Amino acid sequence: MHRIPARRFLAVLSPTLLAALAACAGANTSDLTQGTTGLSSALPGGDGRALAAYKLEFRANALQGTDSLMLRFSEVWQRDNREYLPDLYSEDVTLVTPDGQLLQGRNAVLAYADWQLPQISGIETWRDEFAVSGLMAFIYGRYETDSSQPAGDHRGVHVTIAKRDHFTWQIRSKMYLAFGGSGVPTRRDLLSPEPPHLTLDSIRARYGERALNGQDERAEWMVDAYLSANSYLSEFRYAWNNDDFESAVSMLAPGAVVRLPWDVPVVGKTNAAYSLERLLPAVGDLNMSILDFDVSERISFCMGRYTLPAGDQVLTGYYTAVIRLQDEGPQLTALLFSGSGANGVATEKLGGR
């Protein structure tokens, strides 16, 4: 199999370009570099302890900020504090709801939340896995809702992309995967009929009219990062569609969070390999389109739509992929697909074909 060289991805996310992005970004990143005096010890001849201490402090601050975001999120639902809803979500947020609806943009999410608030007495979310780089963080964990409606309680897992706007963390993208067969977006009335796919011009449009003419460095950096992420997902899809089990597994990070259609969420490359080994021989070609994308330094995410045939079924749903740039190249930190055994084909049956 022809593999896309990691150096192309590395070139896009090189330290020089990262510095340029930080300098041009709308969010103020100067406070992220406070306390970096002594980082010269990380240069040849230094022991690197100052850099290690800074990384630990940076991670701790990001954890504190994102945990505060999750706490504010829970309080809004528990206390029906609608006035605080806009502060929780970025303007370009994307959300896949527990019942499988795709919502794009803050206004759509606020309208949905406003409708749900009287019916939900509380939402609890937990953080089980976490990664951060620059102004963006990935959170994976469990969630549980209490509803005032009969049979309205449900639980499952969530994958949340949080992004920092100056000093405040907001939800940039979120996908719920409900257990027990709910939250399976295979009903045609729940799927957006023609969701707008991401294009290079739609990425440039985020940065204004000049960017549409290729005259904005931030926009071109984002376009290059998108093309690299898209290529990496295409490589994974190529491995999947050619039953190249080893190549597909090699693209996962050691602690990757993976949830394949018709299977349960798992953490770790070994557990994910078991899921892939069962599923790949039993399904057809995986098709994926990207509906949303963002990047900050060494971490990026794609949220999109997928189709996957299995026997006489064609499963259609949404996915979230998180890609992190490691020293050895890009790796999938998370890859979660909607869909479950409620679609009528259990993992055991697929594995036995």
Determine the average pLDDT of the residues in 59-79: 89
* CA neighbor of 100 nearest in space, from 182, 196, 194, 174: 182
Does the pLDDT value for residue 15 go beyond 90?
A: no
The segment(s) of the chain belonging to CATH 3.10.450.50 are 50-178, 200-351
From residue 138, alpha-carbon distances to 28, 50, 191, 263 in Å are 20, 25, 25, 22
Is 262 strand, coil or helix?
A: coil
In angstroms, rounded to a whole number, what is the distance separating the alpha carbons of residues 234 and 161? 22
Q: Please indicate whether residue 194 or residue 316 has the higher confidence score (pLDDT).
A: 316
DSSP for 6-44? Answer: HHHHHHHT-HHHHHHHHHH-SS--GGGGTT-TTGGGGST
Q: In which band, very low, low, confident or very high, does the pLDDT at 49 lie, cut at 50, 70 and 90?
A: confident
In angstroms, rounded to a whole number, what is the distance separating the alpha carbons of residues 128 and 267? 10
Strand order of the sheet with strand 299-310? 266-267, 252-259, 329-337, 313-326, 299-310, 287-296
Phi-psi region of 268 (alpha: psi -120 to 50; beta: other; left: phi over 0): left
What pLDDT does 107 receive? Answer: 93
What residues pair up with 186 in beta bridges, in sequence order? none
- Determine the residue type at 323: I
200-351 has which CATH code?
A: 3.10.450.50
Give per-residue pLDDT as tens, 288-338.
999 999 999 999 999 999 999 988 888 888 999 999 998 889 999 999 998
Does the pLDDT value for residue 188 go beyond 60?
A: no
DSSP for 305-347? Answer: EEEEEETTEEEEEEEEEEEEEETTEEEEEEEEE---GGGS--H
**Is 50-178 CATH 3.10.450.50?**
yes
Helices (H), the chain: 6-12, 15-24, 49-79, 85-88, 106-116, 200-204, 209-212, 217-241, 245-250, 269-279, 347-351
In angstroms, rounded to a whole number, what is the distance separating the alpha carbons of residues 49 and 39? 8
What pLDDT does 83 receive? Answer: 85
Percent of the chain with pLDDT over 70: 76
Does the pLDDT value for residue 26 go beyond 50?
A: no
Highest mean pLDDT among 27-36, 40-49, 179-188, 200-209: 200-209
Q: Please indicate whether residue 163 or residue 75 has the higher confidence score (pLDDT).
A: 163
